[in-house]
């Protein structure tokens, strides 16, 4: 199976380097992506351009394909499945949930027309508790700025056939019961989640960046989700 790996904000394809081996060992072909405009000067690139890049990759591969998205990359993965529901066999979300139509990722401070990585101290403790100092230094050195429109541009979802695409949510600290209790309070995100016909939630046992803290475990979970 061809598996597309979409990094979250501020990361490129190299963020998946330590996750790829167990997926490849399971017999899959892995395609880590770097999104347009990452690490480049200010540009007019938005999240719609990121979605278009993933859709182009889907179209280059023999269907069906698996699309994996970490954090904000989950928004991109779900929008790509919306654009190509007949070609995507499963969407795997890594510590994020399917986005609601018309919602962006979040707001971050822009500097000179780009959004730089805000630093580990920006994030809540439950996201970063398992990232030790050496890993913070190594992973922090891998971060790149992103185009200013990407985090806030609304995601476009129009095809109800996306709800037929199975979804696996690999969550850092949530199991299915605790996640669904949380999502039930999130309005349109609840509605999007509950509309998906086949959803599986698996707890990773990590913070928000398992590709850096437990990459082998994450790779095996992705391979298991593909089946």
* Alpha helices (H) along 106-209: 125-128, 133-142, 176-183, 188-195
User: What phi and psi values does residue 92 have, to the nearest 5 degrees?
Assistant: -110, 120
Using CA atoms, how far apart are residues 41 and 26, in angstroms rounded to an integer?
38
Please give the mean pLDDT across all residues of the chain: 97
The helix-helix angle for 73-83 and 47-60 (nearest 10°) equals 60
The pLDDT tens digits of the residues spanning 169-179 come to 999 999 999 99
Reference 215, options 16, 24, 8; nearest CA is 16
Reference 96, options 33, 157, 170; nearest CA is 170
Q: Which residues contact 106 (CB under 8 A, 6 or more apart)?
A: 72, 151, 152
pTM over 0.75? The answer is: yes
Domain 2-226: top CATH class: alpha beta
* The predicted structure's pLDDT at residue 119: 97
The pLDDT tens digits of the residues spanning 81-106 come to 999 999 999 999 999 999 999 999 99
Domain ranges of the chain: 2-226
């Amino acid at each position: 199976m061809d598996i597309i790996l979409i990094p979250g904000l501020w990361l490129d394809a190299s963020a998946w380097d330590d996750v790829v081996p167990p997926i490849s060992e399971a017999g899959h072909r892995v395609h880590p992506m770097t999104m347009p405009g990452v690490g480049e000067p200010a540009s007019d690139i938005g999240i719609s351009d990121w979605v278009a890049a993933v859709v182009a990759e889907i179209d280059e591969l023999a269907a069906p394909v698996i699309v994996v998205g970490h954090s904000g990359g989950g928004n991109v993965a779900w929008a790509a499945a919306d654009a190509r529901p007949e070609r995507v066999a499963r969407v795997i979300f890594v510590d994020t949930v399917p986005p609601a139509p018309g919602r962006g990722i979040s707001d971050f401070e822009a500097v000179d027309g780009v959004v730089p990585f805000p630093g580990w101290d920006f994030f809540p403790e439950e996201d970063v508790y398992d990232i030790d100092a050496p890993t913070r230094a190594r992973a922090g050195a891998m971060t790149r700025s992103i185009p200013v429109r990407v985090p806030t541009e609304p995601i476009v979802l129009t095809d109800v056939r996306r709800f037929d695409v199975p979804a696996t949510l690999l969550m850092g600290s949530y199991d299915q019961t605790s996640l669904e209790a949380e999502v039930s309070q999130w309005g349109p995100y609840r509605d999007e989640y509950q509309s998906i016909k086949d959803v599986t939630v698996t707890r990773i046992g990590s913070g928000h960046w398992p590709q850096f803290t437990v990459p082998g475990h994450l790779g095996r979970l992705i391979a298991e989700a593909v089946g």
